[in-house]
Structure 1
Amino acid sequence: MIDFKKFVKYSKSGPRYTSYPTAIEFHQDFNATTLKDSLARNDSLARTQRLPLSLYVHLPFCRSACYFCGCNVIYTSKEDKKDRYIAYLKKELKLLKDSMDTQREVIQFHFGGGTPTFFDAAQLDMVMGLIKETFPHFAPDAEVSCEIDPRHFQYEQMEVLKRNGFNRLSFGVQDFDPQVQTAIHRIQPFESVQKAIGLAREFGIPSVNFDLIYGLPFQDKQTFDTTLKKVMTLSPDRLAIFNYAHVPWLKKTMRKIDETTLPTPDKKLAILEHTIAFLATQGYAMIGMDHFAKKTDELYLASQKGELRRNFQGYTTRGFSQTIGIGLTSIGEGRDYYTQNYKDMQSYESALDAGVLPVERGVRLSDEDILRKEVIMGLMNNLKLEFAPIEERFGIDFKEYFKTELASLGEYIEADLVLVDNKGIYTTPTGGMLIRNIAMAFDAYLTKLPTDQHKFSKTV
């Protein structure tokens, strides 16, 4: 059982560890030339060890702003902007084909945004044609997914997705309460979501995810319970339920939210506690951080085997793969690097017009980074860490090498949140809720950051 009274006292700012080093360590010395070298180096690794590809394509446009959103988006209603963007995706794909082995197997593909379904059926089909022309070898069991805004989802788009092998759809729901929807500028009646889910089921999509957010204006346990009960009538296979991070100093649209309407920390905790208990009664298991899945879903089955992996797209069951980020602001990941494209459209286009990969920043990982990444991501993935695989891969005595870090976990050990023995690190149910705090003990960069700067959201 999770002890929420014990849990709440450990709230502090900390990374969500979709990467290590985290994105604030990316720098502009990592440029297009650095990326080409990194791509070649990872191609060489792929010839001696299994290193499949994942592809992430960012489609950045939205018709209007959702005030809670922390994504990199461009608001527009102009059709020509989407066609122009596709032309530049084509240029980027040509440069990637010239810079790496695009014949390697693709095991994961994801359309993110923005609003991918703001692109019409013909445009989506055109993008997929360009992708498959460049990366022709999709694995038969590849995970092919798309983020869906139910307000912009038509039968013709579903036809295109199905024809191109999509087998996972993630629907942005957030909350069904009309007052909450008005406050976050996202009016989305239950019926529109029901219709969109009906399309997915009609076309035989085997895995449907809903994104929900708690901590939004006017939410409390009762209103969120109503949303959860409506969600259950649509029976999603997975749920991602995120704690709203209010960071108006980073996202201007969040300044439109009246902060006096946000639930207090106590109310947020009550929502979370109720959500976990309610979903357990409905047959959903908590997976890693923020995620829930039916016990028939492969995400749950992978979690039971300790085979989950976390990246910028969330949890995957496909193991490690080299991620190629395509499009504005996209992030890529290799064995020893991270890279991010320009966030500004003019800079993105200018680089491609010059025949240069549109890299704004990134980081080359040192051997120490690679070791600590393995530790931190291992904890984030499975809420525990076995020492033996780390010791064998890196040739270290884990408890000796990380004796300072393990000692810093003392308060969590004393509070029965974490167990450390000669074999590994294991969290209790309550400790698992604090996995970000625990992973922070192994982050070599945190001590270099000023403590008074707004860098991360709260861990609780």
Structure 2
Amino acid sequence: MLDFAKFTKYSRPGPRYTSYPTALEFSTDFAYDTYLEKLKGQDKKRPLSLYFHLPFCRNACYFCGCNVVFTSKEDKKIRYIDYLKREMDILSQHLDTSREVIQLHFGGGTPTFFSAEQLDEIITAIKSHFPNFAADAEVSCEIDPRHIDEAQMKVMSEAGFNRVSFGIQDFNEKVQVAVHRVQPYDITKNAMDLARKYNMVSVNVDLIYGLPHQTLETFMETLKLAVTLNPDRFAVFNYAHVPWLKKTMRKIDETTLPQPDEKLSIMQQTIDFMENNGYRMIGMDHFAKPEDELFKAIEKGELHRNFQGYTTKGGADLVGVGLTSIGEGVDYYAQNFKDMPSYEAAIDAGRLPFERGVTHSADDLIRQHVIMELMSNFKLDINRFETKFGVKFDEYFADALDELQPMVHEELLEIAPEKIECSPTGTLLIRNIAMAFDAYMKKHAGNKKTFSKTV
């Protein structure tokens, strides 16, 4: 087994790179009128990807880094649905909503905290505003197995949902109690059975390593149980402990968190376990069966990474709807208000609830390509890069290549004239490798309260 202790020196704050530039660069300097111009100026031949944020949860899971509103009140959900409809009305004034939709994703919060009838109302409103869904559209929903019933799954299936993602995190009861999410195996198994009954073609499960009281041994037991559910994909995330951003994380006893060398060992053993059980690694944190469509995308160089994770649906403009949702165009990111009063006030005034964003410079687009290729495929085709951007890679990124030399010597990656490629161990440190190409990292280097640690 590798000596992971020597790699703990790489444990430092760093982005997960669901975007580049990251959300730290989003600013109100990106004005509302500029955003409207971006929407109106989009290429109408490009398809749309839709993200709807359904933010409500009944209780807090202490590990959660999502933007969540805790409530048990039915009227809040009813009110939110009304505002979603009104936001789509306004959006229709600035965006050609007749464009083909190739992706729809419900995130949260807990989307299935909404009843079957409420989900049906939301879906009906979406399809009335965006009527042109592709026959092979990827339509997905994040689901808490503790909050799903047959009526909800039936509504989603009949509406064309074909993918679901179940949050598990860990099956160990001591860990579950520590993170305030008690979820016995049987509850998750029942949710999986419902997904199969209603013909979800792809079922993902989320696990998290780095949680309180986890050890290599206990996490291997969780993996063994999770594999018995026979999901199509796994997402195995490194817990992002950011208590300065998320107050609920302050309830976690930091002395019970596993150390970086233990976390690296957990991830390496997870990779080995997955491969021995018929799954292969895709990008950072993700695994899938070899027949999964993601592998075809990798072979064609068409695997993409966005705010929803890894997808085959590239070349689309992402439109974010709802509280705190993020949209993405060819050269910008745009985010809605994070607090409900501001979100509602904007819509009441007949405006989109846009708060901030960022426009990409030419340098941003070059670095975005490199970082997203590495995050998706653990390698970069330098010849293809140079053809696409018309710059000499080794000259443009001379400083990054120098910074990566220690990792080359430690055999974490190979740098050749035609490619950069991570070793199997290097994939565990892919965030660190990508950071060498991030022009904004020096600005944040002195501030430890920016990102979660990479290890």
TM-score range, shorter chain: over 0.9
Q: Does 1:378 align with 2:362?
A: no
- Is the 8 Å Cα contact of residues 53 and 106 (structure 1) preserved in structure 2? yes
Q: Distance in 1 between matches of 2:187 and 2:180?
A: 16
The equivalent residue for 2:154 is: 159
- 1:257 lines up with 2:245 in the alignment: no
1:210 maps to what in 2? 205
CA distance in 2 between partners of 1:31 and 1:79 (Å): 35
The 8 Å contact of residues 267 and 428 in structure 2, kept in 1 or not, is answered as: no
One-letter amino acid of the counterpart of residue 295, structure 1: P
Task: Tell me if structure 1 keeps the 8 A contact 2:44–2:96.
Answer: no
Whole-Å separation in 2 of the counterparts to 1:191 and 1:292: 23
Query: What is the deviation of 1:3?
Result: 7.0
CA contact (8 A) 2:13 2:448 kept: no
Residues 314-323 or 404-413, more deviating: 404-413
What is the alpha-carbon distance in structure 1 between the residues aligned to residue 436 and residue 254 of structure 2? 32
* Residues 264 and 428 in structure 2, CA contact (< 8 A), matched pair in contact too: no
> Residues of 2 paired with 1:386 and 1:271: CA distance?
30
Deviations 1:364-405 (A, max 9, x none): 111221121112111111111112332222222222222222
1:449 to 444, 452, 455: 444
Please state how far the C-alpha of 1:408 moved relative to its aligned partner. 2.1
Aligned match of 1:30 = 30
Superposed displacement of residue 262, structure 1: 1.8
Identity of aligned residues (%): 60
Partner of 2:327: 332
Separation in 2, partners of 1:3, 1:322:
44
Aligned pairs for 1:228-267 within 5 A: 228-267=223-262
Q: Is the 8 A contact 1:27 1:362 kept in 2?
A: yes
Paired position in structure 1 for 2:186: 191
CA drift at 1:263: 2.0
Matched residues, number: 455
- Cα deviation for residue 279 of structure 1 reads 1.4
Q: 1:354: which partner in 2?
A: 349
Moved more, 274-283 or 407-416: 407-416
Gaps of 5+ in 2: none
Shifted more, 180-189 versus 340-349: the winner is 180-189
Give the residue type in structure 2 aligned to 1:75: F
Question: Mapping of 1:124-135 within 5 angstroms?
Answer: 124-135=119-130
Q: Which among 405, 411, 417 is matched to residue 410 of structure 1?
A: 405
Runs of 4+ with deviation above 6 angstroms: none
Question: Is 423-432 or 62-71 further displaced after alignment?
Answer: 423-432
Q: In the alignment, is the contact (CA less than 8 A) between 2:325 and 2:336 conserved in 1?
A: yes
| Aligned counterpart, 2:60 | 65
**Structure 1 SS opposite 2:288:** strand
Mapped to 2, the partners of 1:174 and 1:150 lie a distance apart of: 11
* Distance in 2 separating the partners of 1:142 and 1:358: 26
2:41 paired with 1:41 = yes
| Superposition CA RMSD, Å | 1.5
Which range moves more in the overlay, 101-110 or 346-355?
A: 101-110
Q: Secondary structure at the match of 1:429?
A: coil
* Structure-2 residue corresponding to 1:17: 17
Distance apart, 1:453 and its partner CA: 3.3
Query: How far is the alpha carbon of 1:4 from its aligned partner?
Result: 4.0
**Cα 1:241/1:39, change in 2 over 3 Å:** same
Match of 2:304 in 1: 309
Give 1:6 shift: 5.3
Distance 2:126 2:326 in 1: 17
Q: Taking structure 1 as reference, are residues 138 and 118 closer, same or farther at Cα in structure 2, changes over 3 Å only?
A: same
The correspondence of residues 52-91 of structure 1 with structure 2, limited to 5 A, is 52-91=47-86
Structure 1 regions of 5+ residues with no counterpart? none
**Residues 435 and 2 from structure 1, CA distance in 2 versus in 1: closer, same or farther, beyond 3 angstroms?**
farther
Query: Cα offset for 1:160?
Result: 0.6
Cα distance in structure 1, aligned partners of 2:7 and 2:256: 24
1:2, distance to aligned residue in structure 2 (A): 7.3
Corresponding position of 1:323: 318
1:259-311 CA-partner distances (Å, limit 9, x unpaired): 22222333323322222221111011111100011112112332344321111
Partner residue of 2:278?
283
User: Matched residues in 1 for 2:390 and 2:254: separation?
Assistant: 51
> Aligned to 1:152, what secondary structure does the other structure show?
coil
CA contact (8 A) 1:245 1:457 kept: yes
Which whole-Å CA distance do the structure 1 matches of 2:2 and 2:281 have between them?
A: 12
Change (3 A) 1:269 1:450: closer
Note if contact 1:149-1:171 (Cα within 8 Å) is conserved in structure 2. yes
Assess if the C-alpha contact under 8 Å between 2:7 and 2:261 holds in 1. Answer: no
Change (3 A) 1:199 1:305: same
Give me the whole-angstrom Cα distance separating, in 1, the residues matched to 2:39 and 2:3. Answer: 46
Indicate if the aligned counterparts of 1:7 and 1:430 stay in contact, CA closer than 8 A. Answer: no
CA distance in 1, matches of 2:367, 2:264: 31
Distance 1:257 1:383 in 2: 33
